[in-house]
Amino acid sequence: MQIPYTVEARPDTGLYNAKLGIWLFLASEVMLFGALFSSYVLLRTGDPGFMTMSHEVAEAMHLEGHAHSWSDVLSVPLAFVNTLVLIFSSVTIVMSWASLRLKEFGKFKLWMGLTILCAFGFMGIKAIEYSAKFSHHLYPETSNFLGIYFTLTGLHGLHVVGGLIVLVYLWGPGSKMWKSESQRFINRVETVGLYWHFVDLVWIFLFPTLYLL
């Protein structure tokens, strides 16, 4: 069976089907993360004690002073590095797509490989962050703030892992398509690129709202 409009654009939408499909998927993702952001804003603005850390936890964390915010337990330097890693990966993935359009398959492999390394790096740093929380007995049930922190960053992390699986496939066995159906392969890389940029976009909002404010 021939799948229609994998390469050429549909006359009515002007897009190949996978591109329309990924945009529909991303629209649903906006609503998913939007609902969680909305919940976070509601909790943070509605509960005056939402960000206030209990005295016992502050002591256990060896934090000096009187009043502490839950965001004090989050590592800004690690999240800052992770933001730069994700931004760099957005550049490398768009470079891998551009390399294919220039018919430079070797460079595609290089840029896509770097994107994969960035994804592993991001998850590695996230694992360090999470393990630091767990070692201090800070879990989602510890407070509402940590509950929403683990939910938002955990869901985002799952999206990184999901994207990583597709990136590895396109870098490895999936790249065989380049020889048989090059334009279709370029479209696949563009489609996963759109998804990857969205993952970066979500983090752009998560970083300041959770770590800095």
Query: Binding other proteins by CB under 8 A: which of 5, 105, 130, 207?
Result: 207
Footprint of other proteins on 67-106 (CB under 8 A):
76, 80, 83-84, 87-88, 90-91, 94-95, 98, 101-102
Interface stretch with other proteins, choices 24-32, 129-137, 145-153, 156-164 (CB under 8 A): 24-32
Q: How far is the CB of 205 from other proteins (least distance, A)?
A: 5
3-state class of 4 per DSSP?
coil
Three-state SS sequence of 119-162: HHHHHHHHHHHHHHHHHCCCCCCCCHHHHHHHHHHHHHHHHHHH
Strand partners, 69: 52
Q: Is residue 25 a contact residue for other proteins (CB under 8 A)?
A: no
Structure tokens at 151: 């939910």
> CA nearest 45: which of 145, 155, 182, 153?
145
Q: Which amino acid is at 77?
A: P
Q: Which residues bind other proteins (CB under 8 A)?
A: 12-15, 19-20, 23-24, 27, 30-31, 34-35, 37-38, 41-42, 45-46, 76, 80, 83-84, 87-88, 90-91, 94-95, 98, 101-102, 183, 186-187, 190, 193-194, 197-198, 200-201, 204-205, 207-209, 212-213
